[in-house]
Amino acid sequence: MTELAQQQCEACRADAPLVSDDELPGLLRQIPDWSPITRDGILQLERVFKFRNFKQALAFTNRVGAIAEEVGHHPALLTEWGKVTVTWWSHEAKGLHKNDFIMAARTDQQVDAE
């Protein structure tokens, strides 16, 4: 099966199919460092990335922002000294779509990318 990060995102639509309860465990296993959380009743994926300082945290933030812009699918990003919290969910669909898992996997690839 194609690695999650190499799969293609679909267009973000309000009626996009959310990940089913059956699909969820298998997808979560592919991004083991991410946590499924429910905020405001919406299932999301969240991971905290640690860095040596603010400059590295900001550079990572900008790399994640760039891959989000490329596909038109965007995370919530909280950038702090030495720490970036990244949260993925599909805003219009109000839940988790396959896109969110693809982008979480691609986010992991930005950690050491220069």
- Give the residues lining the site for ligand H2B (CB under 6 A): 12, 72-74, 90-92
Beta bridge partners of residue 36, listed in sequence order = 45
Q: How far apart are CB 91 and ligand H2B at their closest, in Å? A: 4
CB closer to ligand H2B, 47 vs 56: 47
What gap in Å lies between CA 107 and CA 103, rounded to an integer? Answer: 6
Residue 12, Cβ density class (10 Å: 0-12 exposed, 13-18 middle, ≥19 buried): middle
Q: Taking Cα atoms as reference points, which of 109, 70, 71 lies closest to residue 90?
A: 71
CB closer to ligand H2B, 50 vs 69: 69
What gap in Å lies between CA 105 and CA 91, rounded to an integer? Answer: 18
CB closer to ligand H2B, 54 vs 74: 74
What is the number of other CB atoms lying within 10 angstroms of the CB of residue 97? 22
Q: How far apart are CB 74 and ligand H2B at their closest, in Å? A: 4
CB closer to ligand H2B, 31 vs 51: 31
Q: How far apart are CB 6 and ligand H2B at their closest, in Å? A: 19
Q: How far apart are CB 81 and ligand H2B at their closest, in Å? A: 26
